[in-house]
Amino acid sequence: MPARSSLPHPFLVPPRATPYTPLQLLFLARLAHLVTLCYHGRHMSGGESQQALVRHVLRSTIDDCFAVGLEPELLALLADGVVEEA
């Protein structure tokens, strides 16, 4: 799947009909925190073992997000290039 499309907004996520559950909010907050850690890890000096751990936890959190029904949100993030291949 290409990271970007030539269409202006091809990966818009339709609004949710129901609010997020507490578990979904937990995983979305964790994902946001890990994306920030990955960004800072790429732009700051740090140990390779720490970066490997963050990548592992990011992959696990992405799997958890899929498991709790956050597929549309994840696909939108991945399509936008926010979460790069870890």
pLDDT digits (tens, 9 = 90+) for 22-67: 999 999 899 888 888 877 777 666 677 888 888 899 899 999 999 9
SS (H, E, C) 12-75: CCCCCCCCCCHHHHHHHHHHHHHHHHHHHHHHCCCCHHHHHHHHHHHHHHHHHHHHCCCHHHHH
**Residue 16 — very low, low, confident or very high, per pLDDT cuts 50/70/90?**
low
Whether the pLDDT of residue 3 is over 50: the answer is no
- Residue 41's pLDDT is what? 72
pTM: 0.66
Amino acid in the structure at residue 28 = L
